[in-house]
Amino acid sequence: MSAPEAEPMWWRSAVVYQVYPRSFADSDGDGIGDLPGVISHLSHLADLGVDALWLSPFYSSPQADGGYDISDHYDVDPLFGDIVDAEDLIEAAHRHGLKVIVCMVPNHTSDRHPWFLAAAHESPGSPARERYIIRDGRGATGELPPNNWHSAFGGPAWTRLPDGQWYLHLFDPRQPDLNWEHPEVRAEFADILRYWLDNGVDGFCIDTAHGLVKADGLPDWRPRHGPTAQREADESRAPMWDQDAVHDVYRTWRAIIDTYPGRVLIAGARVSAPDRLAHYVGRDQMHQAINFEYLQTPWHAPALRRVIDASLATTSAVGAPSTWMLSNHDVVRHATRFGYPPEAPLPSGIGPADPQPDRDLGLRRARAATLLMLALPGAAYLYQGEELGLPEHTELPDDLRQDLVWRRSGGASLGRDGCRVPLPWKGHPPCGGFGPETASWLPQPDGWADYALDRQRDDPSSTYTMYWYALRLRRFFRLGLGTLRWMDFGPDVVAFTNGDVLVVSNLGDTAVLLPGGEPPLHSSIELTDPASVPTDATVWVLRVGEY
C-alpha cells in the first residue's frame, strides 16, 4: 500500500493534529480509545481543515507509559485494535485527504521486548546484553549504580538485574535504553521504518530524538538546576542528551526516507536552545523539529517575539521550516496554563488542592495564542481537543491518577493525566460520545458537555468555529509558506504581517488601534469595535494599505 501522490513539500506548512489514541474515541466500549474509534472520526479532522494526523504510539506495549514502552514495533496493541485496523486507518485517512504521521520511539524499548527479556535472562558478557546499556556497578561489590544519572521520571536512572549488573533507563525502569552503538539496533530500526513506510505512513515523529547516543564512558553529571534528567535536558551538553554522534543515526534514516518521496521525519528533541535544535533538521537529517521552546513560552509579548525570531532564524539558516505547538499529551493544556499569571512556573499536573486557574481568562488567552500561532509561517501542531477549547482536568482525585510519573515521583509531580482525558464529542451521556459505555479510563470532569463538538459546531462564536475558520484562511492566504515582518504596536503587542494579512495580538492592558480601518478577517473574540484589538485578543486584518 503506498501513500497518495503528494505535494512533495506538504509538510513545510502543514497543520498537524496529534491524536492520543487512548483518549480520542472508543469503538468497543472498554473505556479506552482505539484505532477504529479514530477511523470513525476522521471526517471531523477533515472538516476541521487539518492536513495530517500524528498518532501517539499504538504498538504492542504493556502500557507502562501510555504506549511509549514498546514490546513489538511491527504490531498493534490489542487495546487499540490490530494491524488491519492500522492499515485501514492509513487508507481511510488518505481517502479523507489526510497524511498520517506515526510516533517512533527509538531511545528505549519495553522491558517486555524480546530483546530485553533475552538480555535479562542471559548472563553478563552475553551478546544479548550488548543491545542495551548494561554495566557492572560501582563500590566494593558493585552495589552502587554505574554513574549518578537520574531518570526523567524521578529516582536513579539505573536498575539492578538479579545477577548484579545494572541497566540504564533514562525514563521508567520498564523502559530500558537501547545501545545505539550496536549495529543490530541500527539495522532493526531501519527495518521498522521501512515496514511502516511500506504500510503507507507519511512520516515519523521521533520521540526523545536527542537521547539515543550517550557520551563515551557514561561520565557522572551534576546538573545545575536539580536532580532530574528532564531538567538536565535544559543544560547544554549533559552526557545523556544531545550528543553530536546522534546525527549519524538521522543521516542514515534520511537516506532511507528519501527513497519514499513526500515522506517526512520530525524530531521530538528537547534541547537547550533553538540553535541546538537546528542541528536535527536540514537537507541530510530530519525535515522539521517540534518547537518545545515555543510551547513553554508564557503569554508575554517580549518573550514571544524573542522565541519566534530565534526559531525562524535558526531553522531558515538550515533551510527547514519552523514549527509551532501550544499543547501536547505531556503538558498542561494551554487553555489552563494561560489561566495563571505568566510568571507562574509551568506545573506538571494540577490537583484539587492546588490554586485553580482563571478559566475564562485561560480560554480567552488560549484563543488569542492560537490565532497568533496559526498565522506564523511554518508548520503548526494541534493537540486533540484544543479545537474545543478543552481545559486541563485540574480536579482529578489522586486515586484515579494513571500516569506513572505520579507514582514514581511519590506524588511530588501530579503527572500528565489532566491533559489526557477522553474527548467529549456529544453534549450528552454516555461519556460525552467518547464511547458506548458510561465509564472511560479517566473520568471526564463536570461541565465537559459544554465543550462537546456537537454543541460547538454550529455556534459562530465557539472555539471550534474559530479554529475551523482560521484554518481556511490560513490555507487561502498560504500563511504557512509566508514571510513574517514585524510591526511595532508597542512593547505589549505582538504584531506582524504575513503576506496580505496583518496579525495583531494584544497582550497589554489597553486596546490597540488598527491602522487603515480595514475590516478584520478573523478575531479570537467577538469585537465590539472593529477598529481596535482588546486586551488578550488576536485579530487578523486584510492588509490593504502599505505598512
Give me the residues that bind ligand BGC (CB under 6 A), please: 65, 68, 105, 171, 207-208, 268, 329-330
8 A C-beta contact, residue 325 and residue 290: yes
CB of 78 to ligand BGC, least distance (A): 21
8 A C-beta contact, residue 497 and residue 485: yes
Q: What is the Cα–Cα distance from 395 to 476, expressed in whole angstroms?
A: 41
Q: What is the Cα–Cα distance from 330 to 344, expressed in whole angstroms?
A: 18
Which of residues 383 and 496 has its CB atom nearest to ligand BGC in the complex?
Answer: 383
Sheet of 158-160, strand order: 134-135, 166-168, 158-160
CB of 242 to ligand BGC, least distance (A): 14
DSSP 494-536: EEEEETTEEEEEE-SSS-EEPSTTPPEEEESS--SSTTEE-TT
Identify the sign of the CA torsion 210, 297, 524, 518: negative
Name the nearest CA neighbour of 363 among 462, 239, 468, 494. 462
8 A C-beta contact, residue 201 and residue 100: yes
User: According to DSSP H, which parts of 49-182 are helical?
Assistant: 83-95, 114-121
CB of 439 to ligand BGC, least distance (A): 24
- 52-55 and 59-60 as β-strands: parallel, antiparallel, unpaired? unpaired
CB of 106 to ligand BGC, least distance (A): 10
Q: What is the Cα–Cα distance from 525 to 484, expressed in whole angstroms?
A: 23
CB of 477 to ligand BGC, least distance (A): 32
Which of residues 105 and 320 has its CB atom nearest to ligand BGC in the complex?
Answer: 105
DSSP 308: H
Which of residues 49 and 268 has its CB atom nearest to ligand BGC in the complex?
Answer: 268
Q: To which H or E segment does residue 380 belong?
A: strand 379-383
CB of 105 to ligand BGC, least distance (A): 6
Which of residues 422 and 480 has its CB atom nearest to ligand BGC in the complex?
Answer: 422
8 A C-beta contact, residue 3 and residue 202: yes
Q: What is the Cα–Cα distance from 280 to 294, expressed in whole angstroms?
A: 17
CB of 301 to ligand BGC, least distance (A): 29
φ and ψ of 142, to 5 deg? 70, 25
CB of 350 to ligand BGC, least distance (A): 18
* Tally of CB atoms within 10 A around 504: 26
Residue nearest to ligand BGC as judged by C-beta position: 68
Q: What is the Cα–Cα distance from 84 to 95, expressed in whole angstroms?
A: 16
Which of residues 310 and 405 has its CB atom nearest to ligand BGC in the complex?
Answer: 405
Residue 506 Rama label (left phi>0; alpha psi -120 to 50; beta): beta
CB of 413 to ligand BGC, least distance (A): 12
Which of residues 20 and 448 has its CB atom nearest to ligand BGC in the complex?
Answer: 20
CB of 254 to ligand BGC, least distance (A): 21
